């Protein structure tokens, strides 16, 4: 199989949602064909014999520096034509399909990632996003195999990831149980018909390959699903982190910062060769490890301030109330000042982490 790597293009969820709104015009009409993928009642460790415990993960400070200059973290400027009578025209970069292991690919198109797992007679993929992107994903998969997409696993419930499932009429749609309640509230349409849900863990066989779905608690959204292929040592996360960029302030309200930190620390302890994230074409583990370090540093700094404030109040939790007004304006983590969105969004990260530590949300 060919490996195509295009120049790096980074986008944020903000851009994706805008694009989804622009590009999603038709509703889904899935006609799923259920297949069996029994879900264990308990979640085994990602790899029972080889995955080290999260506590044995290399400390973030040992993460090697990137060997290449940081990828651009700003939203690529879309091609804009002077349009006095309409919105600017977007020119999408062509999609890429990069082989990560035998039969396992990373599709990156419309600024969003999908995992593609190919077997003789079936294909699993993730997050079609919207009908236009889903058709592009389908077209690129057709270059790899004649087999139909039989399973779509959703990484979480957010609208910019879950549309377009109707483009794959042979696929069953799988998501973590929490997505069903969220889909009942979704206002923008193109909500997938969910064929199978799981609570904490599900393993899907795609030929001789194992694709595991792990629910490790809320991260970005409530149905946050971590996809892991233990033999291939590939993990897929969605909207959890970006290379050398803070999640933009407009998109942090549905991100559980304490949960995101915990999830990233957990998966960083797994055996990994590639880490696919939602909105960048790279799969380098350094991106994951730098973000583990960021979330740990943010947690430690905010937690220290909370502990000190409560101690000064004689142990009363209300001693931390004032921090909601003061800490976002005073705390700095100079190490991350060159990350994209730091200037605009770091105070909101402080607020969200503070609330997470204080309220668990």
In the complex, which residues of this chain contact Zn ion (CB under 5 A)? 158, 220, 239
DSSP state of 221: B
Percent composition of the chain: helix, strand, coil (DSSP 3-state, to 5):
35, 20, 50
Q: What is the DSSP string of 84-121?
A: TTSPPPP-PPPPEEEEEETTEEEEEETTEEEEEEE-SS
Nearest to 289 by CA among 65, 83, 25, 111: 65
Cα separation, 177 vs 194, in Å, equals 10
**H or E segment and range at residue 150:** strand 149-153
Closest CB to Zn ion among 12 and 158? 158
Nearest to 357 by CA among 312, 318, 302, 314: 302
Closest CB to Zn ion among 103 and 192? 192
Closest CB to Zn ion among 220 and 287? 220
CB of 343 to Zn ion, least distance (A): 23
Closest CB to Zn ion among 180 and 326? 180
Closest CB to Zn ion among 239 and 293? 239
CB of 317 to Zn ion, least distance (A): 31
CB of 254 to Zn ion, least distance (A): 7
CB of 153 to Zn ion, least distance (A): 15
CB of 42 to Zn ion, least distance (A): 27
Torsion of CA 303, 304, 307, 312, to 10 degrees: -140
CB of 209 to Zn ion, least distance (A): 26
Nearest to 136 by CA among 106, 158, 107, 173: 107
Strand stretches in 220-324, DSSP E: 226-229, 234-236, 274-276
Closest CB to Zn ion among 223 and 305? 223
Closest CB to Zn ion among 63 and 353? 353
Cα separation, 220 vs 236, in Å, equals 13
CB of 166 to Zn ion, least distance (A): 21
At 222, is the secondary structure helix, strand, or coil? Answer: coil
């Amino acid at each position: 199989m060919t490996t195509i790597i295009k120049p790096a293009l980074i986008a944020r969820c903000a851009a994706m949602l805008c694009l989804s709104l622009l590009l999603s015009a038709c509703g889904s009409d899935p006609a799923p064909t259920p297949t069996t993928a029994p879900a264990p009642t308990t979640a085994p460790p990602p790899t029972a014999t080889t995955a080290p415990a999260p506590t044995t993960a290399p400390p973030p400070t040992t993460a090697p520096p990137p060997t290449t200059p940081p990828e651009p973290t700003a939203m690529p400027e879309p091609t804009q034509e002077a349009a006095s009578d309409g919105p600017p025209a977007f020119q999408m970069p062509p999609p890429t399909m990069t082989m990560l292991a035998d039969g396992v690919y990373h599709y990156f198109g419309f600024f969003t990632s999908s995992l593609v797992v190919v077997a003789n007679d079936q294909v699993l993929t993730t997050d079609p996003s919207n009908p236009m992107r889903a058709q592009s994903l389908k077209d690129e998969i057709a270059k790899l195999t004649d087999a139909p997409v039989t399973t779509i696993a959703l990484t979480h419930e957010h609208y910019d990831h879950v549309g377009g499932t109707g483009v794959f009429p042979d696929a069953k749609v799988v998501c973590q149980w929490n997505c069903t309640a969220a889909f009942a509230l979704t206002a923008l349409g193109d909500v997938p018909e969910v064929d199978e849900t799981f609570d904490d863990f599900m393993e899907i066989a795609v030929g001789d390959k194992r694709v595991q779905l792990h629910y490790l608690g809320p991260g970005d959204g409530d149905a946050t699903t971590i996809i892991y292929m233990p033999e291939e040592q590939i993990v897929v996360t969605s909207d959890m982190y970006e290379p050398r960029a803070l999640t933009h302030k407009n998109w942090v309200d549905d991100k559980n910062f304490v949960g995101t930190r915990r999830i990233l620390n957990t998966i960083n302890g797994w055996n990994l060769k590639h880490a696919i994230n939602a909105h960048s074409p790279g799969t380098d583990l350094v991106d994951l490890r730098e973000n583990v370090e960021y979330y740990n540093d943010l947690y430690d700094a905010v937690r220290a301030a909370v502990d000190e404030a409560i101690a000064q109040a004689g142990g009363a939790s209300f001693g931390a109330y004032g921090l909601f007004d003061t800490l976002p304006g005073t705390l700095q983590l100079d190490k991350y000042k060159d990350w994209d969105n730091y200037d605009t969004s770091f105070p909101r990260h402080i607020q969200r982490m503070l609330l997470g530590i204080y309220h668990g949300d």
